Chain A
Amino acid sequence: TRPPLLQLMWSKDIIVANITLKNSPFWHFHPYDCTNITVSNVTILAPISSAPNTDGIDPDSCQDVLIENCYISVGDDAIAVKSGWDQYGIAYGRPSRNIVIRNVMARSLVSAGISIGSEMSGGIANVTVEDVRIWESRRGLRIKTAIGRGGYIRDISYRNITFDNVRAGIVIKVDYNEHADDGYDRDAFPDITNISFKEIHGRGVRVPVRAHGSSDIPIKDISFQDMSIGISYKKKHIFQCSFIEGRVIGSVFPKPCENLDLYNEQGQLVKRAAMVNSTEVDYDI
């Protein structure tokens, strides 16, 4: 196995600042089970293709984390919040909590700018992502998990995000079936609750939203507000979701899927969600 470039474990009061991390064989900075971490003014670079697992920053079962003022252009996720994998993460039981990611410029040509999961078995809660620009990427913001992960993903807030030439802006995927081994618990369903998107902008986005829950892992209490994403597809129905419960507040572009309640800017319910749990179209992203 390949080593991460900088890994800190069971530590606290960490400041990583004013450095450049480059061409790691695996993840660049991987704090594991740490508390009170600040990453500031850090640049992370790796080849943008043919460089798997060169994630930028992967806080893993960490609490009280601030990642700010960073430029990350790498061959996998720029930032991925994790907390353990399947039965091992569940047993260890250390969540990633109280994380702020702000003023970050990210590029991930083959993966995602900011990821939550898929190894999130210890739980992930109270994550704020704001003032982030994601460019020339395959996915902008992604939340991924699967049966067997258990744990939870809740209270995640995205604000003032800009996509520039991104294939899929927002992706939520609950069938990311990559497991540590075959011993995972088939009845361990993660709980996804309270995800909010506000002030989301962009241009050149093929599919702005693809948020698919499942009957076992529904997406609950999701909200979209103040969203205007410039698209590059001529297709309709490019805001896709299923097995989802939540709302759109105010007017958004492009037109949201029908599985969400519509509210006006004053907070009055305008249209109840149609009870549809599937999206018929499936575009290449």
Chain B
Amino acid sequence: MDPTPHRGGSPSPRFTLQPSRLPPEDMLFCVDVDLETRSEMRIAPGPAAAAAASPGAAGASSGAAAASRQAARPPVKRMDAVKQALLLFVHSKLTMCPDHRFAFASLGDTVSLVKKDFSSDAGSAVEAIQSLDASETRYAMADLTQLFKIAYQEGKRAELQGRLLRVVLIYCRSSTKPQHQWPIKQKNFTLDIIYLHDKPTADNCPQKVYDALVDALEHVSQYEGYILETGQGLARILFRQTCILLSHPLQRCIQDDLDIPKPLAKKNMVTEAAQNEDGMPVSTQ
């Protein structure tokens, strides 16, 4: 378009930002099916807790009623919560843009494809999600090499089609460190991880697993990959983390700069510098 002429002077140049679309995503979900995905998730502090706090016969009576209500509700396993989270993700993502596509894999000792072809059909995604089942096996290892191989091949194909390949790994083992033999080569897919683990005990070590997952992510991820972790066993936290992963890899800030809540006190830089309130202790010697 021609710039609007100005009276009495040469027209100032006008900058126009050309509209462009973000590449649609092909998303490969890899869901851990180890025995630990049978662990129970907590929904929320139930009415039993509140009832237990009330004294007296009425309290006891309502406590009993709450207990029976609690017993009637089937327990939610980790895999159940993961499935719900994936359904939430797929429906939300397709609402944003119907061009996103999904494929599914499971992780035991190694990776197996559950639904190989990428598809934007919600029905077939739902079907694949519902078919995921927690195993009764405690797998001795978790080899991600095959996952990276598949992702690398699909990443090349996606790039040719003007799409972006993403891998979302949902990992649930509190002791088994994932491993891989993957060379440093051109990075062509983005890896996100959700790590659900038990609270630390003498028999497990989620810290080592977490560190290994971070290392793997940083080894392979093309764009900023997020790793979100929880040991609290609350389904609501998983859903919240799932919502964070809805963000497009090209529209993310670096995880370590995911600055929530914002440090509003830092608006006053002079005061902040002088106070050094949360920085390292400054030696007065």
Q: Which residues of A contact B (CB under 8 A)?
A: 49-50, 109-111, 136-139, 147, 165-168, 171, 173-176, 178, 201, 203-204, 210, 212, 214, 228, 230-236, 242, 250-255, 264-265, 279, 282, 285
Contact at B260–A165, with CB atoms within 8 Å?
yes
When distances are taken between beta carbons in the complex, the residues of chain B under 8 Å from A50 are 264
B53 nearest in chain A by CB position: A103
| B window 214-245: CB within 8 A of A | 214, 218, 227-232, 234, 237
Q: Which of B202, B231, B262 contacts A250 (CB 8 A)?
A: B202
Question: Does B282 make an interface contact (CB < 8 A)?
Answer: yes
B261 nearest in chain A by CB position: A136
Q: Please report the C-alpha to C-alpha distance between residue A208 and residue B253 in the assembled complex, in whole angstroms.
A: 22
Contact at B202–A109, with CB atoms within 8 Å?
no
Contact at A236–B232, with CB atoms within 8 Å?
no
When distances are taken between beta carbons in the complex, the residues of chain A under 8 Å from B210 are 254
Question: Does B162 make an interface contact (CB < 8 A)?
Answer: no
Q: Which of A138, A176, A242 contacts B263 (CB 8 A)?
A: A138
User: Which secondary structure characterizes the binding site on chain A?
Assistant: loop
Question: Does B204 make an interface contact (CB < 8 A)?
Answer: yes
Contact at A228–B199, with CB atoms within 8 Å?
yes
Contact at B237–A49, with CB atoms within 8 Å?
no
B255 nearest in chain A by CB position: A234
Contact at B207–A253, with CB atoms within 8 Å?
yes
- Among the stretches B6-14, B56-64, B165-173, B272-280, the one at the interface with A is B272-280
When distances are taken between beta carbons in the complex, the residues of chain A under 8 Å from B214 are 234
Contact at B199–A171, with CB atoms within 8 Å?
no
When distances are taken between beta carbons in the complex, the residues of chain B under 8 Å from A228 are 199-200, 231-232
Q: Which of A138, A178, A201 contacts B261 (CB 8 A)?
A: A138
> In the complex, what's the smallest C-beta–C-beta distance from B168 to chain A, in angstroms?
17
Beyond A255-B207, A279-B280, 9 additional contacts (C-beta under 8 Å) are: A110-B263, A176-B277, A204-B260, A212-B280, A230-B232, A232-B228, A234-B255, A251-B200, A253-B199
Contact at B256–A173, with CB atoms within 8 Å?
no
Contact at A251–B281, with CB atoms within 8 Å?
no
Contact at B232–A201, with CB atoms within 8 Å?
yes
B285 nearest in chain A by CB position: A215
When distances are taken between beta carbons in the complex, the residues of chain B under 8 Å from A110 are 263-265
A207 nearest in chain B by CB position: B278
Question: Does B44 make an interface contact (CB < 8 A)?
Answer: no
Given contacts A138-B265, A165-B261, A253-B207, whether A210 and B278 have CB atoms under 8 Å apart is yes
When distances are taken between beta carbons in the complex, the residues of chain B under 8 Å from A147 are 284
Chain B 117-154 near chain A by CB (<8 Å), digits 1 or 0 = 00000000000000000000000000000000000000
Chain B 245-257 near chain A by CB (<8 Å), digits 1 or 0 = 0000000000110
When distances are taken between beta carbons in the complex, the residues of chain A under 8 Å from B261 are 109, 136-138, 165-167
- A-B pairs, top 3 by smallest CB distance, nearest first, are A251-B200, A110-B265, A228-B199
Given contacts A175-B281, A285-B278, whether A252 and B202 have CB atoms under 8 Å apart is no
